[in-house]
Amino acid sequence: MIRKFLVFLFAIVILSGCVKKGEDVIKIGIAGPMTGDQAKMGMDFRNGVTLAVEEWNRKGGVSGRKIELIIGDDQRDPKQAVSVANKLVTQGVKGVIGHFNSSCSIPASDVYDRAGIPMITPASTNPQLTEKGHYGVFRVCGRDDQQGKVAADFVTRELKIKKLAVIHDKTTYGQGLADEFNKFLGGKAEVVYYGGIVQGDKDFKTVLISIREKAPELIYFGGIYPEGGLMVKQAREIGMTVPFMSGDGVIDPKFVEIAGAEAAEGTYLTFSPDPNTIPTAKEFIVQYTKRFGELGPYSAYAYDAANIMLKAIEAAGVTEGKAVMDKLHSMEFAGTLGNIKFDSKGDITVAPYVVWITKGGKFTEYWKP
Amino acid sequence: MFLQQIINGLTVGGVYALIALGYTLVYGILELINFAHGEIYMIGAYLGIIFLGIFTASGLTQYSLFLSLSLTVIMSVIVCSAYGFTVEKLAYKPLRNAPRLNPLISAIGVSIFLQNYVMLTQGATDKVFPHVIPVTIIKFYNVTMTTLQIFIIIVSFFLMAGLHLFIMKTKTGKAMRAVAQDKVMASLLGINIDRIISVTFIIGSGLAAVAGLMVAMYYGLVNYSIGYMAGIKAFTAAVLGGIGSIPGAMIGGLVLGLIESLGASYLSSEYKDAYAFIILILILLVKPTGLLGKSEGQKP
């Protein structure tokens, strides 16, 4: 009996081995927060990339080889991001779409660089990521120094605010964005409060009360939506009515859900232009909503990042890292959000940031620099 | 601003105190640090969202908000107590005569299990508490607070007073004190030790359920990992007040809430979580028995 079982087991092992070897696939990794408080962003990522890969596979794959997706969950934790990166490398991925948080992308980029694997992040906006000089690191989103500048221009030129408070979540992204914003204010507005909070904390009333004493006309927050939502909600609860402003980490329907539509009303957010107004994105939006429902803020970026990676692999003709990176640096890609060309650092050459406003629980485009 | 921070500190401190009571009750009787207690609090928060969701879907909330909320509280407390009861029976009772380290490890295991159980059944994303409770802002001189904050402070003080009376005045309370003093002697006098231990877990879990529910209402955001930090903070509060001492846990919780609140506003909010642990270290160095704790020597 036991012998029969062992034979059976052996057969399964051999057979499954055969199937895997027989199928020639190109493995692509997606890495981001698939679980945890930012899982919504991870899901948007995965959906965008999945859509792109399915389209390629339906057309017969890249140079006749099917694409297989391998998902890595970094739980927005930098330590986890490094181990996810190592795991993806050992699993033999030829390119990575990810990570989401700058604090994860930066340490993970070292791992991919050593392994000679190109990575394209759809969302990490911290300048340091591409300033490290890794040849294979790219991003399809803008940079926080560009984003911070637009926010600072909006505050000083459009709102003409003189006194404001700046809060950040001490992460690479949050603090980085807050610092860039601060820098571009250039003394045109007085920063009466500057300080950090702990990511994952739920009580910001104590900070907000200290800020209320200083009577700023606006609160700028560098961080992600769970803290952003709670902060706006609690500010309204202690009677603060001043407008809030934040960046692309907060622009998510969950922000309104957490804060409540009433508290979120009038919050300004810097982000790229609305894909719904871009003609080239139309087909993508139709396909995406049909398959996954409502578009997330980074769905289109993830979709573009995956397409660019696969196009570069196709153009290179091989999956060897250096050849793909060369193509990524030299080619111009037609993305859903416009044409994308990378500069020598791996940043996109044109990064259009605009200011959005929260109205009746929805985000709408509000101001162009 | 000072008064405002006091109000905030009391709100948070009241919640810490309610959780800390669960630690201290169990420690008093079993000399076990029940690390799974934070998870019971987290389950309480989830149950609040689930029950209120059910009542809202069935139309009860629209009919009477008060009735719906009361039922939510009652149901959450009952289910959470059942969790506490079961955890004790499954994970601690078989180890009652084992070396002290064994139940402690079992407690950590239960904590990890419950966290993952909730993560797998409820999902890893944040859950938002339904916006059904109208929040009124009250302005009093320079102090602003919400009705919910006052509600939390009142409920936690009310429960603490209730628990105190229960322990001091009722027969079961007396039996609990007897078991805490000397288990063998208490059983010789005809006290059913198993029953008293079960009652202790049920009361502790019920208090944690109320704390979880109030936090879910107050912040409006719940996820599977909130029990960890809250558990550690409440444990700190229990040690601060003197673990095993019931008034100590109450005072410890309130003091911890106030320290955090004042520290975050006058020093820096970046190290808010660190204040609790700085206090813990200081207490362990200066007065290891805590504010109201008795030294171990008095216990046989």
Determine contact, residues A244/A222, Cβ cutoff 8 Å.
no
Query: Residues in chain A whose beta carbon is closer than 8 A to a beta carbon of chain B?
Result: 35-37, 39-40, 170, 195-198, 200-207, 209-210, 213, 226, 229-230, 233, 237-239, 254, 257-258, 260
Per-residue pLDDT of B81-107, as tens digits, reads 999 999 999 999 999 889 989 999 999
Pairwise CB contact (< 8 Å): A195 & B268? yes
Q: How confident is the model at residue A1 (pLDDT cuts 50, 70, 90)?
A: low
Average pLDDT, chain B: 90
Give the rounded percent of residues in chain B with a pLDDT score beyond 90: 59
d(CA A18, CA A23): 9
Per-residue pLDDT of B116-147, as tens digits, reads 999 889 887 788 888 888 888 888 777 888 88
- Please give the pLDDT value at position B142: 77
Per-residue pLDDT of B145-187, as tens digits, reads 888 899 999 999 999 999 999 999 999 999 999 999 898 999 9
Structural domains in chain A, CATH included, are 23-141+278-336 (3.40.50.2300), 145-271+353-367 (3.40.50.2300)
Residue B165: domain span: 2-225
Span B32-37, mean pLDDT? Answer: 92
Residue B47 forms part of a structural domain: yes
Residue B40 forms part of a structural domain: yes
Pairwise CB contact (< 8 Å): B265 & A260? no
- Please give the pLDDT value at position B295: 61
pLDDT, greater one: A353 or B271: A353
- Please give the pLDDT value at position A23: 61
Pairwise CB contact (< 8 Å): B270 & A170? yes
At B100 the three-state DSSP class reads coil
- Please give the pLDDT value at position A130: 93
| Sequential DSSP letters for B211-258 | HHHHHHHHH-EE-TTHHHHHHHHHHHHHHHH-TT-HHHHHHHHHHHHH
Pairwise CB contact (< 8 Å): B128 & A197? no
State the pTM of this model: 0.80
- Please give the pLDDT value at position B3: 87
d(CA B277, CA B18): 19
Query: Residues in chain B whose beta carbon is closer than 8 A to a beta carbon of chain A?
Result: 1, 4-5, 8, 12, 119, 123-126, 128, 131, 135, 137, 139, 144-146, 215, 219-221, 223, 225-226, 229, 260-261, 264-265, 268-270, 272-273
Pairwise CB contact (< 8 Å): A238 & B226? no
Does residue B297 carry a pLDDT above 60? no
Smallest Cβ distance to A237: which of B119, B123, B137?
A: B137
Residue B43 forms part of a structural domain: yes
- Interface probe, candidates B116, B131, B226, chain A, greatest A C-beta count within 10 A: B131
Q: Compute the count of residue pairs across chains A and B with CB atoms less than 8 Å apart.
A: 86
| Sequential DSSP letters for A177-197 | HHHHHHHHHTTSSEEEEEEE-
Smallest Cβ distance to B270: which of A195, A238, A258?
A: A195
- Please give the pLDDT value at position A357: 95
Pairwise CB contact (< 8 Å): A209 & B265? yes
The secondary structure element, H or E, covering residue A58 is: helix A39-58
Residue B141 forms part of a structural domain: yes
When divided into structural domains, chain B yields a total of 1
Tell me the shortest Cα–Cα distance from A301 to chain B, in angstroms.
22
| Cβ neighbours of A210 in B, within 8 Å | 1, 265, 269
Pairwise CB contact (< 8 Å): A203 & B219? yes
- Please give the pLDDT value at position A3: 63
Determine contact, residues B233/B256, Cβ cutoff 8 Å.
yes
Per-residue pLDDT of B49-69, as tens digits, reads 999 999 988 888 888 888 999
Residue B293 forms part of a structural domain: no
CB atoms within 10 A of CB A311: 17
Residue B107 forms part of a structural domain: yes
- Please give the pLDDT value at position B194: 94
- A25-32 and A95-98: which strand pairing? parallel
Residue B233 forms part of a structural domain: no
